[in-house]
Each structure stands twice: as C-alpha cells, then as structure tokens.
Amino acid sequence: MLSFEIFKNYKEMNQKFSSQIIVNFLFLHLDEFGDSKEAIKKSLDYAFSDEKGKGGFLLVASHENQICGILIMNSTGMQEYIPENLIVYIAVDSKLRGQGIGKKIIEKAQQECQGNIALHVEYENPAKKLYERLGFKTKYAEMRWERKEE
C-alpha cells in the first residue's frame, strides 16, 4: 500500500527525512531530465519559505518505509494569468516505474493544492503522456533566452 506524506516546512520534514535524502533521491531518479543538487535544494527552500508570494510543499510517496517517489510543488504567488502552483520536480524510483506511482503522486498533489497547476516537461520525456492523461494540456511553447557569460 502506497502512503503519502505532505511536508510544508523543514521542521516537519526533518522529523522523518533529511534534505540530503530528498535531494539525492530526486537527483538520482530524475535521470537526464534533472538539475543540479543545488537547484533541487533551492526549489525545496522555496517550497518551505514563509516569504510572501512563496511556499508550496513536498510530497513523499512511500511503501514499507521506502521512498517510492517525490514531488516538489512551488506556489507562484500569482493567479489568473499564471497558474498558482508549479510542479518543479517529480520523480519515481527508477526500479518502480510503470506501476502507476507517478499518477497517484500527481493526483494526490492535485487534491492538496489550491488553484491551477503548471509543469514543464521536455517533449521527449516519456512522462509527458502521463501528464496529458491526467488533464495537463500544452498551452504554450516555452521559449528561453539565456545570457551568455562574457
């Protein structure tokens, strides 16, 4: 049986998990679609921030005290023109993929948050099909301009 825990601050989370465990899990299981450990930690800091316009939560899915998947949701502090919530990271243990765990994690996150949710997914990410089945739609093509270091 899969169980879910929602954490909204470091105090709650540290009673069960260290930030290093959370960051390392995501870094390992995001595979080629992941970011640096520092970036993952920043998203966790943002989710746990008390600063106005920030916040969110950490969702941990586990089975028999083993982490199966993790999601970090950041609040955007906006509404109407940008969704109020952003799934920054979601990962399922690579040995457990294809069992519906990712779907259950997203459904739990949808129940937990208020307002709309956005996420960024690369076109070649196999999870894109799951997100579409769960009702996510491609509304915009994201374009980025990156400053070149001189």
The Cα 18–Cα 21 span in angstroms is: 5
The encoded tokens of residue 7 equal 């954490």
Mind giving me the DSSP string for 12-59? HHHTT--HHHHHHHHHHHTGGG---HHHHHHHHHHHT--STT--EEEE
Which pLDDT belongs to residue 144? 78
Which pLDDT belongs to residue 75? 95
The Cα 6–Cα 12 span in angstroms is: 9
Indicate the residue type of 3.
S
CB atoms within 10 A of CB 4: 18
The encoded tokens of residue 11 equal 């105090």
Which pLDDT belongs to residue 104? 97
Each of the 150 residues of the chain gets a pLDDT tens digit; together they read 899 999 999 999 999 999 999 999 999 999 888 999 999 999 999 999 999 989 999 999 999 989 999 999 999 988 888 899 999 999 999 999 999 999 999 999 999 999 999 998 888 888 888 888 888 888 777 777 788 987
Which pLDDT belongs to residue 57? 98
Q: Are 65 and 114 in contact (CB under 8 A)?
A: no
Query: Alpha carbon of 62 to those of 17, 102, 103, 104, 134: distances in Å?
Result: 12, 12, 14, 11, 21
Give 10's contacts (C-beta < 8 A, 6+ positions apart).
19, 48
Q: What is the residue extent of each domain of the chain? A: 3-133
Give the phi and the psi of residue 9 in degrees, each rounded to 5: -160, 165
Q: Write the CATH number of the domain with boundaries 3-133.
A: 3.40.630.30
